[in-house]
């Protein structure tokens, strides 16, 4: 099944990418202001992957993310207010202000969580897919991970298990070419993620991750195949992270020419050009971006005003069986 790229579909893609970009910028500014504790891993420049995939999913479908998961959560429909409060560590965050940026989750829309462990979301997605199959559900699981994750054990284990049990899971490798501060090619043997997936019997497709229409088309086909019971699939999306590894990284180590070239491939600007060719006025696109920025500004104001979590609840959610004492405090 291929999506019809009519103007409304393109506007939906543009709107979601604009919301992701606006959220990331608002979060970065809040971090610089000193009101967001801890560093943030943002996905500026990679918005096309999360958007192109998640607009092909329903609320019943599950996703898992990595440490750079704000965009995945937004594209899947996670509540912005709860996300921003979580970044601020405030009450009312999706994880009650305890998880922060790297552990955003919203089960109400099937977002099973971001993960601070590289490749940590892979076995979770495979387990979710196995559960869905056992329940005879038509829903699928989608797992987002970076190119650095393919050198970790859970990648091999996850794909192997998914093939053995013919599980309804789509693996999505967001390949931005960098594992933290290291060029991934310099630490990866062999031809890469597609060859590794295919060696285990997982059909794989490579797509330009900065062309949201191409991602949308590939995702529509792969999601349909997975949902039809044809087994796991892998989408390899080549993209580029404009910013540093974290909000505290000025990215001075990057080649300026590479950054400039990537800016010219910005998925939002590329889609804006296509929409202009389809007759959409520049003012209409500007209004979409302005609406997204206003939404995120309101979420920041709300998070600043929200109360801190009650200290008495600190050990709730830590362990759900039995009673364990830490320094005399019962959990």
Indicate the pLDDT class of residue 320, thresholds 50, 70 and 90.
low
* pLDDT (0 to 100) of residue 3: 54
264-279 per-position pLDDT tens digit: 889 999 999 999 999 9
Closest to 24 (Cα-Cα) out of 143, 96, 95, 104 = 104
| pLDDT, average across residues 291-318 | 92
Q: Which residues contact 221 (CB under 8 A, 6 or more apart)?
A: 1, 2
Confirm if 103 and 95 have CB atoms less than 8 A apart: yes
95-136 per-position pLDDT tens digit: 999 888 999 999 999 999 999 898 999 999 999 999 999 999
Confirm if 198 and 239 have CB atoms less than 8 A apart: no
The residues with which 63 forms a beta bridge, in sequence order, are 111, 142
- What does the block give as tokens for 173? 């490798």
End-to-end Cα distance, the chain: 50
* pLDDT (0 to 100) of residue 51: 98
Instruction: Indicate the range of 46-55, 160-169, 278-287, 309-318 predicted with least confidence.
Output: 309-318
* pLDDT (0 to 100) of residue 323: 53
pLDDT at 54 over 60: yes
pLDDT at 2 over 90: no
Cβ atoms within 10 A of the Cβ of 220, count? Answer: 18
* pLDDT (0 to 100) of residue 319: 64
Mean pLDDT of the chain: 91
Distance of alpha carbon 173 from alpha carbon 234, whole angstroms: 8
* pLDDT (0 to 100) of residue 60: 97
Indicate the pLDDT class of residue 330, thresholds 50, 70 and 90.
very low
Please give the DSSP secondary-structure letter assigned to residue 323: -
Distance of alpha carbon 150 from alpha carbon 143, whole angstroms: 13
pTM: 0.91
* pLDDT (0 to 100) of residue 240: 87
For 252-311, the DSSP string reads TTS-HHHHHHHHTT-HHHHHHHHHHHTT--HHHHHHHHHHHHHHHHHHHHHHHHSPPPPG
Query: 241 vs 49, which has greater pLDDT?
Result: 49
| pLDDT, average across residues 282-293 | 98
Q: What percent of the chain has pLDDT over 90?
A: 74
223-268 per-position pLDDT tens digit: 999 999 999 999 999 998 888 777 877 777 778 888 788 788 899 9
Instruction: Name all domains of the chain by residue range, CATH numbers in brackets.
Output: 7-330 (3.40.50.970)
Distance of alpha carbon 331 from alpha carbon 323, whole angstroms: 6
pLDDT at 45 over 80: yes
């Amino acid at each position: 099944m291929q999506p019809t790229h009519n103007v409304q579909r393109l506007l939906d893609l543009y709107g979601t990418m604009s919301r992701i970009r606006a959220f990331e910028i608002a979060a970065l500014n809040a971090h610089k202001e000193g009101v967001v504790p801890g560093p943030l891993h943002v996905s500026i420049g990679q918005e096309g992957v999360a958007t192109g995939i998640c607009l092909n999913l329903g609320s019943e479908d599950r996703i898992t993310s990595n440490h750079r998961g704000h965009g995945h959560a937004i594209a899947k429909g996670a509540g912005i207010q709860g996300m921003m409060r979580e970044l601020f560590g405030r009450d009312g965050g999706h994880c009650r202000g305890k998880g922060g940026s790297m552990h955003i989750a919203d089960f109400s829309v099937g977002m099973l969580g971001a993960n601070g462990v590289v490749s940590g979301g892979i076995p979770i997605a495979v387990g979710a897919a196995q559960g869905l199959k056992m329940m005879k559900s038509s829903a699928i699981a989608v797992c987002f991970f970076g190119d650095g994750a393919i050198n970790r054990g859970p990648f091999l284990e996850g794909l192997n298990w998914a093939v053995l049990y013919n599980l309804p899971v789509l693996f999505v490798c967001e390949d931005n070419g960098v594992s933290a501060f290291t060029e991934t090619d310099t630490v990866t043997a062999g031809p890469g993620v597609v060859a590794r997936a295919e060696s285990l019997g997982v059909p794989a497709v490579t797509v330009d991750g900065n062309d949201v229409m191409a991602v949308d088309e590939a995702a529509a086909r792969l999601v349909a195949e997975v949902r039809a019971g044809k087994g796991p699939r892998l989408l390899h999306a080549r993209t580029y992270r404009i910013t540093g590894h974290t909000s505290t990284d000025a990215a001075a180590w990057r080649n300026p020419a590479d950054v400039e070239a990537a800016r010219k491939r910005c998925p939002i600007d590329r889609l804006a050009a296509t929409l202009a060719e389809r007759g959409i006025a520049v003012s209409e696109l500007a209004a979409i971006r302005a609406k997204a920025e206003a939404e995120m500004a309101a979420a920041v104001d709300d998070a600043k005003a929200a109360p801190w979590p009650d200290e008495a609840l600190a050990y709730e959610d830590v362990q759900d069986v039995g009673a364990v004492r830490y320094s005399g405090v019962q959990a």
